[in-house]
Structure 1
Amino acid sequence: MGTHDPVAALRAALARTGGETSDHDLNPDFPRLPGRVLRPAAVLVAVKRGPAGLHVVLTKRSSRLRHHPGQIAFPGGKLDAGDAGPVAAALREAQEEIALPPENVEILGLLPCHETVTGFTVTPVLGVLRGPFTPVPEAGEVEEIFDVPFTHLVQPGNFRVQARRWRGDWRFYYTVPFGPYYIWGATARILRALADRVAP
């Protein structure tokens, strides 16, 4: 990553230019609803240090959920009225979903927003854990908490573009599989944007 300090490399990546992303990036002809109002949301891209290097914390959503069951996601969700902003929302959601104490996260900065096809504008909040924590999945919402080596997620060559039928049309999306975990959609697109910033 061009430096002996991987966290310094993350800070450098945040300083590089890069525009907002969207689920529509690979589907420019897919119609968008006129007059749509995007709802603000935030996710925490939590990076933890380890003997083998940095890892990114991810969750597998419960298969019993109505929306996006079983999908791989960052901890996060929509901004509540009481949230001071995306950082506060991301930290609150991470505490609720995986029992990550907010004080255990050093915020490095924000990545450009990502627009989802479901009508959210998501702010990815990049943070590094100050120390270890015991992850506890939120009952009913999170099925599993796991982490993926950062080196796997910042190699553009590990990403693929795939397609599936959605509402009668083919939609294309990024994937970055890791072992048994099929990472795709908005999560993969946000990671791809980070990979593009980190890659030399």
Structure 2
Amino acid sequence: MNSAENTLTLEDFITRFQLQLPQPNEPARNLRRAAVLIPIICHHRPTVLLTRRATTLRKHAGQVAFPGGAADEEDATLIATALREAREEVAIPSSSVRILGQLPPVDSSSGFQVTPVVGLLAAGTRYRASLAEVDDIFEMPLQQALSLASYTPLQIQRRAKNLRVYFSWYQSHMVWGMTAQILYRLGQHIHL
């Protein structure tokens, strides 16, 4: 982190992300595979692109999420899954994404083992929502998204297990569930 401005620069983020191997908190147990793209937009002050899922969807309707979804047989890798889903949901061309790497997979409440893929997008990259899947697209400052202090932990019980979930607010958007868990883990990874 640049101590003079106390802000996270893109170079700081890339260096911290690439200098350390992500450590899994707990191995994923779900067998069905999925991937999400964590799109970092390379503004002077970087942002992360997030979506609000369509309220008409069967699962996770109206929730803040990364572009992503289930792996298809045609996907050669989980990176290919994340890129395909980003293209389908928010029209980001795969050729516009510079992949930095992956985080360890996490289990979703809907039975998927989800692999987060971190990618960079140029500041001028255009995107647009697929109305069938996405109600809104917004950018959150990367520094806020990865600041552990931005998240409030909450203990819940699910299927007779105690779980810790995180939530945070950005403008009128509540970031919680797996999206908050992934951002929190990424924040832990780069020690912000």
Structure 2 residue matching 1:183: 3-state secondary structure: strand
TM-score, structure 1 normalization: 0.83
1:46 to 39, 43, 46: 39
TM-score, structure 2 normalization: 0.87
Equivalent residues of 1:76, 1:90 under 8 A apart: yes
Equivalent residues of 1:10, 1:198 under 8 A apart: no
**Alpha carbon RMSD of aligned pairs, Å?**
2.5
* 1:32 alignment counterpart: none
Equivalent residues of 1:59, 1:72 under 8 A apart: yes
Equivalent residues of 1:14, 1:197 under 8 A apart: no
1:12 to 13, 16, 21: 16
* 1:33 alignment counterpart: none
Structure 1 residue runs without a partner (length 5+) = 25-35
1:73-125 Cα shifts (integer Å, max 9, x gaps): 00000100000111111011001100101111101111111112321111111
Structure 1 residue matching 2:58: 3-state secondary structure: coil
Moved over 3 A (4+): 2-5, 163-172
Q: How far apart are 1:10 and its partner, in Å? A: 2.4
CA distance in 1, matches of 2:136, 2:120: 20
Equivalent positions of 1:53-68 (< 5 A) are 53-68=45-60
* 1:28 alignment counterpart: none
CA distance in 2, matches of 1:165, 1:57: 30
* 2:117 alignment counterpart: 125
Equivalent residues of 1:95, 1:102 under 8 A apart: yes
1:196 and 2:188 are equivalent in the alignment: yes
Equivalent residues of 1:21, 1:190 under 8 A apart: no
User: Which residue identity lines up with residue 127 of structure 1 in the other structure?
Assistant: G
CA distance in 2, matches of 1:98, 1:37: 26
CA distance in 1, matches of 2:129, 2:156: 30
Q: How far apart are 1:134 and its partner, in Å? A: 2.4
* 2:178 alignment counterpart: 186
Q: How far apart are 1:54 and its partner, in Å? A: 0.3
Count of aligned residue pairs for this structure pair: 188
Q: How far apart are 1:176 and its partner, in Å? A: 2.1
* 2:68 alignment counterpart: 76
Structure 2 residue matching 1:182: 3-state secondary structure: strand
Structure 1 residue matching 2:128: 3-state secondary structure: coil
CA distance in 1, matches of 2:18, 2:133: 30
1:22-69 Cα shifts (integer Å, max 9, x gaps): 6x9xxxxxxxxxxx7521000000001224x10000000011111111
Bigger strand share = 2
Equivalent residues of 2:169, 2:175 under 8 A apart: yes
CA distance in 1, matches of 2:58, 2:172: 22
